[in-house]
């Protein structure tokens, strides 16, 4: 097999050298870094998020964005219509009055009080300031990403980036937020200085041309693994090809460890993942459940120098429906640090799931369940195309540089 550094990348993905990367664990590290970047921005702030709540974290973001816009910074904020449905009129109007361009991705009407626009969500979490600092990961703007929220506070990760990869994130975010509406003139971006030793790649998933890119990169890395694979993922129910690569890696002696939810915020997620445990454990995959609080992370480490941080879970929604973004890093220092933090979770906050005793005889229910699960995972990417496939819209909320209404249709066209 080819070594990891020589494996071919899917389609238009490209490695960019000379980047700096800093792991940010939970809101305690993430929010101060983001707010500092916004406070120091001089020209431009771009923010995409799935969830923005009107709590102490959301209000702090609101204040930082308004302050930046008032001092002349161009500020664009994109939220998801399903993830952020209940912002007050005052909250929105104050952003607009300050000059923040606030758009919502695919807003949907409620039917009998229920949100029906659940499919094909904008699930990314990206920040770029002045084209020099960028952030990407799984952390939303909500107080439940802080430990003082209590037992339901989430365990999660993001990464701060500097260097050439920031240009890539900026271009992607600009297309996502402003296209096809003409963008305001932008300051010329200087060539990014060398910021570190990491090679970095932005990998996205959409419903147009990049439907499987994130999943393909996971499979490439697992297939090339020689020492270890450590995956911490909140919602774990991947396709059969990812499961196949995990089992093959374990069979050839790779130390494969999964950190999954033990105290889930969505109980069904743990139940779904548990259906796969026996299937994986029989080939030597070790499974740990994080039991201190809900796990919300979407990170992985392979061997000594490959790591990924992003918004994509390994479940049908993220792999086949949602709009997602991960960064992949080749850097021994970053991979080592992330691996150490995940090992800390295993040692101090996880319980290992003991493989079930071997059964004797034929067990029809177990066989039926395994068959159904296997074929569901194998066929889901195809079935996903049968699900509602409306054209999502970006809506510029009232006062944000224009009147209320649809800002653009075909909001996924930027990914073409």
Beta bridge partners of 160: 22, 135
Tokens of 266: 């969505």
Residues 6+ apart with CB under 8 A from 40: 129
Beta bridge partners of 250: none
Burial class (CB in 10 A: 0-12, 13-18, 19+), 374: middle
CA 273-342-263 angle, to 5 degrees, is 40
| Residues known to be catalytic | 123, 125, 130, 296, 298, 303
- Identify the CATH assignment for 19-198+391-415 out of 3.30.420.10, 3.30.870.10, 3.40.50.700, 3.30.1490.20: 3.30.870.10
CA 309-37-155 angle, to 5 degrees, is 35
Rounded CA separation 60/71 (Å): 17
Same fold, 19-198+391-415 and 203-384: yes
Of the segments 259-263, 323-327, 401-405, which one has the largest average pLDDT value? 323-327
pLDDT tens digit string along 386-404? 665 556 677 887 544 443 4
The yes-or-no verdict on residue 152 having pLDDT over 50 is yes
Q: Quick one: CATH architecture of 203-384?
A: 2-Layer Sandwich (3.30)
Give 2's pLDDT tier (boundaries 50, 70, 90).
Answer: very low
The total of other beta-carbon atoms located within 10 Å of residue 5's CB is 12
CB-CB contact of 224 with 3 (8 Å): yes
pLDDT of residue 383: 64
- How long, in residues, is the chain? 416
pLDDT tens digit string along 162-218? 999 999 999 999 999 975 554 445 555 557 788 899 999 999 999 888 989 999 999
pLDDT tens digit string along 40-92? 999 999 999 999 999 999 999 999 999 999 999 999 999 999 999 889 999 99
Give 12's pLDDT tier (boundaries 50, 70, 90).
Answer: low
pLDDT of residue 373: 65
Which sequence spans correspond to the domains of the chain? 19-198+391-415, 203-384
pLDDT tens digit string along 98-142? 999 999 998 866 665 565 566 789 999 999 999 999 999 999 999
pTM of the model as a whole: 0.88
The yes-or-no verdict on residue 290 having pLDDT over 70 is yes
């Amino acid at each position: 097999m080819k070594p990891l550094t020589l494996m071919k990348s899917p389609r238009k993905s490209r490695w960019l050298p000379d980047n700096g990367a800093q792991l940010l664990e939970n809101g305690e590290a993430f929010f101060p870094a983001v707010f500092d970047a916004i406070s120091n921005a001089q020209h431009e702030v771009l923010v995409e998020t799935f969830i923005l709540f009107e709590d102490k974290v959301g209000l702090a973001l609101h204040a930082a964005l308004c302050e930046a816009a008032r001092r002349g910074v161009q500020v664009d904020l994109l939220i998801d219509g399903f993830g952020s449905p209940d912002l007050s009129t005052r909250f929105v109007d104050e952003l607009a009055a300050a000059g923040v361009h606030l758009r919502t991705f695919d807003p949907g009407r409620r039917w009998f009080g229920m949100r029906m626009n659940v499919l094909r969500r904008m699930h990314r979490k990206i920040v770029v300031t002045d084209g020099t600092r960028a952030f990407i990961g799984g952390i939303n703007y909500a107080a439940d990403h802080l430990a003082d929220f209590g037992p339901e506070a989430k365990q999660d990760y993001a990464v701060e980036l500097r260097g050439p990869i920031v240009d890539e994130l900026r271009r992607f975010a600009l297309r996502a937020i402003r296209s096809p509406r003409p963008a305001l003139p932008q300051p010329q971006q200087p060539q990014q200085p060398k910021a570190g030793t990491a090679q970095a790649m932005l990998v996205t998933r959409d419903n147009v041309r990049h439907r499987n890119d994130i999943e393909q990169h996971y499979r490439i890395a697992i297939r090339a693994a020689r020492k270890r694979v450590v995956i911490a993922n909140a919602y774990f129910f991947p396709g059969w090809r990812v499961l196949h690569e995990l089992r093959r890696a374990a069979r050839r002696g790779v130390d494969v460890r999964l950190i999954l939810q033990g105290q889930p915020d969505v109980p069904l997620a743990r139940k779904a993942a548990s259906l796969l445990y026996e299937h994986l454990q029989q080939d030597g995959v070790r499974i740990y459940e994080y039991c201190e609080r809900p796990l919300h992370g979407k990170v992985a480490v392979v061997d000594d120098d490959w790591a990924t941080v992003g918004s994509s879970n390994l479940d049908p929604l993220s792999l086949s429906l949602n709009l997602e973004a991960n960064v992949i890093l080749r850097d021994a220092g970053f991979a080592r640090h992330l691996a150490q933090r995940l090992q800390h979770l295993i040692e101090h906050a996880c319980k290992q799931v003991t493989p079930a005793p071997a059964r004797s005889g034929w067990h029809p229910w177990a066989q039926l369940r395994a068959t159904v699960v296997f074929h569901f995972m194998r066929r889901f990417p195809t079935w996903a195309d049968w699900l509602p496939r409306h054209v999502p819209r970006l809506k510029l909320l009232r006062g944000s540089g224009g009147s209320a209404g649809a800002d653009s249709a075909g909001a996924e066209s930027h990914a073409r």
